[in-house]
Structure formats: C-alpha cells, structure tokens
Amino acid sequence: MTNTTPRDRLRTLRLLGALAGVSVALGACTYTGAEVVTASVPDDYRLRHPIAVQEADTSIVVFVGQGRGGLSSSQRADVMGLARTWIREGTGAIVVDVPIDTPNARSAASSARQIQATLAAGGVPSRGIRLNRYRPDDPRTLATIRLSYPKISAVAGPCGLWPEDLGPSVLNPGYSENRQYHNFGCANQRNLAAMIDNPADLEQPRSETAAYTARRTEAFEKYRKGNSTATTYPESDKAKLSDTGK
C-alpha cells in the first residue's frame, strides 16, 4: 500500500470493516438441527403427571352363549345398574354393540332386545339408546355385547415412561442432584384419578348441604340444659380385644 493514495487506503479500510461486520453477523446465525429444550422437567410429580378432567367412556360386557338368549339375573342387575349411573353421570347416549355373523348372533340379538327393555325400565329414554352392530375379526369367537357411554372422568398418565437411567450415568445428569425420576408419582396420580367420584371436586368445592335438623335440635337442647353434647356409643367397648391404654 506504499504506492496508493490516501483515498485508496481509506476505501480499503472501509471495505475491510464491512467484511468484518458481515462475518460477525453470519457467525451469530448458528443453525442446529437438534431440539433445543429451554425448560427442565418439573420436580413436582403433580406437575409431571397432572390429573386431567376430560370425557371418557365407561362400559360393561355381557357374555352371551349360543343356546340361550336373554339375560341372567346377574346380567340384568348389571344392566340396571348401568342405567342408574347413566342417569347420574352420562353425557351421551348408551351404545349397545351387538355382534353379527357369529355362532351366538341369534342369542345376542335376543339379549340385545332384553337389554333395551331393561334400560328403558331403568329410566333411560329411547333416544338415549343406540344400537350398533359389529362384525368381529374372527367369526368363530363367542362375541360379547358391550354397553358403553361417555362421562366426565379424571385421568392421569400414561405411566411407565423412563426417559433417563435411574443409576449413575452420563445419560442422567440429574442423578448427582438427587432429583425424582420421571415416572415417580405417576401410579399414585393415576390411582387417585380413578378413585375420584366427582371430577368436579378437583376444580372447585361442593356447595353446602342442609344441616341435619333433628341432630342439631338435640345437640342444642343438651347444650341448653348444660349436658354434654358428645355422642356416646355404649357398644363400642365390646369390639376391643385388649384393655391396654385404660
């Protein structure tokens, strides 16, 4: 650059500065094809395996033989129980799946008619019963009649997911931190969801019911007279097997 003019040197410096700026900008745009995880797995098992309230099917199965149609006494009780629970919690029609082209197809058709009559006697309207005929994969099998309806249910899971090793491993960086493994608490959440009678209890408390007037009147009367309001159980000591603690 000894033979260049000051204007040429200034132009060269400007060009070098522009090239350096472009290089820095392109270096910042690093592309990676791997998934970038910005949040860690929650440590609280209630957050890892939340209980969700959604619509799910509940069902019963009615076994039908080849030589006898209709329902037995225990099957009739099951269908009647399904009708009572549908009135209380059903969110859709009861679907009666009846097999066809099977060895017990004729008996199944007779049983399906009795099932419809039992559901109607249990308070299910005709529009709440839907008959669905299906053909099983193996026509030689003794197909069953299945009754199902949707309801609001609490569900959790699925369980059995093990994305990381439990022991010390390079694939489990959280082992040294003594963190809970991913599947921890899933079975407890799933069982709790299955035992909940009313899924709405997970979201809000129930409204208070009316007080037991007879018991409240008796307690107030004892309180007015200065007597003890505690309930006595004279037969409770008869069930004790030991006198320890007396």
Tokens 């709405």 belong to residue: 200
Identify the pLDDT of residue 207. 86
pTM of this prediction?
0.60
DSSP for 16-70?
A: HHHHHHHHHHHHH-----SPPP-SPPPSSHHHHS--EEEEEEEEEEE---SS--S
Identify the pLDDT of residue 37. 44
The DSSP code for 132 is E
How many helices (H) does the chain have, and how many strands (E)?
Answer: 6, 4
User: What 3-state class would DSSP assign to 169?
Assistant: strand
Identify the pLDDT of residue 31. 45
CA 32, CA 103: separation in Å to the nearest integer? Answer: 60
φ/ψ of residue 10, rounded to 5: -65, -40
Identify the pLDDT of residue 35. 45
Per-residue pLDDT of the chain in tens (246 residues, 90 and over written 9): 456 566 666 677 677 666 666 565 555 444 444 443 434 667 888 999 999 999 989 999 999 988 888 899 999 999 999 999 999 999 999 999 999 988 889 999 999 999 999 999 999 999 999 999 999 887 777 789 999 999 999 999 899 988 877 777 766 666 667 778 889 999 999 999 999 888 988 888 888 888 888 888 988 999 989 998 887 777 766 766 666 666
Among the listed residues 202, 201, 199, 187, the one whose alpha carbon sits nearest the alpha carbon of residue 156: 187
Identify the pLDDT of residue 87. 95
Identify the pLDDT of residue 188. 94
Identify the pLDDT of residue 3. 60
CA 243, CA 138: separation in Å to the nearest integer? Answer: 65
Other CB atoms within 10 A of residue 55 CB: 11
Identify the pLDDT of residue 192. 93
Identify the pLDDT of residue 131. 94
Strands 129-134 and 94-99: parallel
Domains, in order of start, for the chain: 56-151 (3.30.1330.60)
Among the listed residues 73, 96, 70, the one whose alpha carbon sits nearest the alpha carbon of residue 83: 96
Identify the pLDDT of residue 43. 81
